[in-house]
Structure 1
């Protein structure tokens, strides 16, 4: 994968790794990010080349895999029958254990839904008679970090 693409999608504070002997280095985001800069040019802490617990034992391993993150569900909320809107809102907040503020931020697409939240909300849409595939406003591909 193009490392320039990785740079764009990862936060600046994402740790770099310089462990060349690691068996998982080709699929680890920390290592791929570390290949973009020399250790001497890094302004923050990275993983030292002599780090213990590499490969299968590495606690910091993050797979180089993009997953879909759903943004907003105003489109689906507009398809819910008016008499069920209050029930849908209440169930979302109760089932996901969230405050009103977070619920409305998620609904408007101000913050992305976690994979778990999107699954739960999709199942609620299905219960309300809305096709879950048409309920979310936008899908953004991101790393699961």
Structure 2
């Protein structure tokens, strides 16, 4: 079953690349959505190929893969597995690291978590006693625009 990508809308002001010679053109979001932006947008941001630091291919600092990634939402499932002491310690740790508001947004699933953020949280969840294979409440496919 193919998962639907939930953020296919190009962000406002997202830079497009019109390079025809870049070896990564077929795999980069900046190029992948360029035809759509050029067709539909009245104004747009473009990567400057004349800039002294401009590079193509693997050396490009602006490269963004056009392969969707699996983002996670919500920690209530994982936190439900923790003992009371671990629950409190985990909550306090994340509140100290972020803010109370940010913690609750992450816990409720209001904020999608990138694969890197998931890996960091998964390690932390394991430290605090979560053993489930799929600790997050839900998953979705998203482009990583930046």
Q: Please identify which structure carries the higher helix content.
A: 1
Partner of 1:56: 58
Partner of 1:28: 28
Partner of 1:105: 105
Partner of 2:74: 72
CA distance in 2, matches of 1:63, 1:85: 36
Does residue 143 (structure 1) correspond to residue 133 (structure 2)? The answer is no
TM superposition score normalised by structure 2: 0.76
| Deviating more after overlay: 127-136 vs 34-43 | 34-43
Distance 1:123 1:132, change over 3 A: farther
The root-mean-square deviation of aligned C-alpha atoms, in Å, is: 2.8
Contact 2:86 2:129 in 1 (8 A): no
Larger RCO (CA within 8 A; separation ≥ 6): 2
TM superposition score normalised by structure 1: 0.77
Q: SS state of the match for residue 45, structure 1?
A: coil
CA distance in 2, matches of 1:67, 1:7: 11
Runs of 4+ in structure 1 over 6 Å off: none
Contact 1:19 1:48 in 2 (8 A): no
Residue deviations 1:82-137 (CA, integer Å, cap 9, x gap)? 2332112123334xx21111111101111122434322322232233322423211
Aligned residues, how many? 139
Residue deviations 1:6-39 (CA, integer Å, cap 9, x gap)? 9825323322211112221111110111122437
Distance 1:132 1:9, change over 3 A: farther
Contact 2:6 2:142 in 1 (8 A): no
Ranges in structure 2 where 5+ consecutive residues have no aligned partner: none
CA distance in 2, matches of 1:57, 1:141: 27
Partner of 2:45: 45
